[in-house]
Amino acid sequence: MNLDAQHPLSSGLTANSRLVRAYQGVRPDATPVWFMRQAGRSLPEYRELRVGTDMLDACLDPAMTSEITLQPVRRHGVDAGIFFSDIVVPLKLVGVDVTIVAGKGPVLGTAVRTGTDVAALTALDPAVLDTALAPIADAVARTVAELGSTPLIGFAGAPFTLAAYLVEGGPSKDHIHARTLMHADPEAWAALMAWTADVTGRFLRAQVLAGASAAQLFDSWAGALSLEDYTRYVAPASAAAIAPVQDLGYVDRSRDAAADPVEVRRHVPIVHFGVGTGELLGAMRDIGADVVGVDYRIPLDEANRRLGGTTPLQGNLDPALLNAPWPVLEAEVRTVLERGASAPAHVFNLGHGVPPETDPAVLTRVVELVHELSARTDAHTDPQARASAGERA
């Protein structure tokens, strides 16, 4: 299915952006940079705006969501906005009893621990999201109208992470109840994963159709799994979750000064990120992701080696370094860029989210440093490079 002609990718507004080109495996004029959780707690303007408003209420207020998403783009000069939301928003909209408790995270009214519990949960029809997600689509549309040529990244929680919250009833250190259900009742687990994949897929698709130029599947808890368990019990659902975005495409019309126009049909780039997933990188890529996000526990050059040197990478500065003295932080930024140079393309990011106590001025300074250090005059803008990127798209 082709995206609407007015979509930022179809219209060409974001198709040649640093971020989208890097996600396609082409190195742009400078390494693009954005930060997970760049919108939110570290910004004083965010804290002021959120006074008296519950997190989930904020996520369902299109004007507030859009403003929060735009704040770090204005302040830091990052190369992308990341849609401000929460992975449990679609669960809330489909009818699940869930709240976000300050300092703790998502808490479920009832944990889903048995086959009977799963049957009751999956009786909730994800198709209601096709209308219930209207506030999300509105927020995305408002945001892309303001962003102009800066792309917006849509995101959603991966099926396993959603399932882990549902089974545990809230945050967990080891996700032992989820892993128990996975093995003790494979049929119930499969039904749960199919349902969460449906929910996630609809959430991602709504964001892309409304104007997001890329999508990130965020698997916070996949690092709790062995490679065998991930491949057998989780990967099929993650593949199903991104399928509703994979079929969304556009015609990229690019012109080089010394060549005829080149038209290539591309699909919306998909990033797959997980925490503690160094042993799962290949399996996470193989669900159909174009880009693999790498956390701070594994060097980017090693991640590139494990992925066979063929996959664009995103990451992976340790967020703890943001509060280190500037010379220490600067040295680590240089190291991340050097290691990222081994991959076909690299998007600079953190190895997890921005800590709430981070000084915003430090993030701005990191953005400037990344752009300065990575600026290049031999960016891959020639027809051959673009044709190669089209073959990968």
Mean pLDDT within 256-284 = 86
Q: 203-255 pLDDT, tens per residue?
A: 999 999 999 999 999 999 999 999 999 999 999 999 999 999 999 999 987 65
**Whole-angstrom distance, CA of residue 391 vs CA of residue 4:** 23
Q: What is the pLDDT of residue 260?
A: 57
Helices (H), the chain: 18-23, 44-50, 55-59, 62-76, 89-94, 115-122, 129-132, 134-147, 159-168, 176-184, 186-210, 227-229, 235-246, 281-285, 300-306, 326-340, 360-374, 383-392
Residue 390 has pLDDT above 60, yes or no: no
24 annotated ligand binder? no
In the chain, pLDDT over 70 holds for what percent of residues? 94
**Whole-angstrom distance, CA of residue 391 vs CA of residue 393:** 6
Q: Which domains occur in the chain, in start order?
A: 18-392 (3.20.20.210)
39 annotated ligand binder? yes
The neighbouring-strand residues paired with 100 are: 106
Q: What is the pLDDT of residue 259?
A: 52
Residue 172 has pLDDT above 60, yes or no: yes
Residue 378 has pLDDT above 80, yes or no: no
Count other C-beta atoms under 10 Å from residue 266's C-beta. Answer: 18
For the chain, the average pLDDT equals: 93
Catalytic residues: 37, 41, 50, 86, 165
Q: How confident is the model at residue 391 (pLDDT cuts 50, 70, 90)?
A: very low
Closest listed residue to residue 120, CA positions, set 106, 109, 136 = 109
Closest listed residue to residue 160, CA positions, set 219, 208, 201 = 219
- Widest CA span of the chain, in angstroms? 65
Residue 384 has pLDDT above 80, yes or no: no
392 annotated ligand binder? no
The neighbouring-strand residues paired with 101 are: 105
Q: 154-166 pLDDT, tens per residue?
A: 999 999 999 999 9
Q: What is the pLDDT of residue 173?
A: 85
Residue 379 has pLDDT above 90, yes or no: no
Q: What is the pLDDT of residue 192?
A: 98
